[in-house]
Amino acid sequence: MAEDKLVLLEINDFIAKLSINRPKALNALSGEVNRQLDACLDELAKRDDVRCVVLYSEKNFAAGADIKVMLECDVARAREYSASPIMQKLENLKTPVIAAMEGYALGGGLELALACDIRIAAENAKMGFPETTLGVIPGAGGTIRAPRLIGEALAKELIFTGKVIDSQKALAIGLVNQVVPDGQVLETAMKMAGKIARNAPLAIEKAKGTIREGQEAESFEKGYAREVEAFASLFATEDQKEGMRAFVEKRKPVYKKR
Query: Would you name the residues annotated as active-site residues?
Result: 111, 131
Check if the beta carbon of residue 227 is closer than 8 Å to that of residue 258. no
DSSP secondary structure of 111-173: HHHHTSSEEEEETT-EEE--GGGGT----SSHHHHHHHHH-HHHHHHHHHH--EEEHHHHHHT
Which neighbouring-strand residues pair with 24?
none
| Residue 201 neighbours by CB under 8 Å, 6+ apart | 14, 51, 95, 239, 255, 257
Angle at 128 between CA 179 and CA 101, to 5 degrees: 35
Cα separation, 124 vs 144, whole angstroms: 26
Angle at 119 between CA 1 and CA 232, to 5 degrees: 110
Cα separation, 165 vs 175, whole angstroms: 10
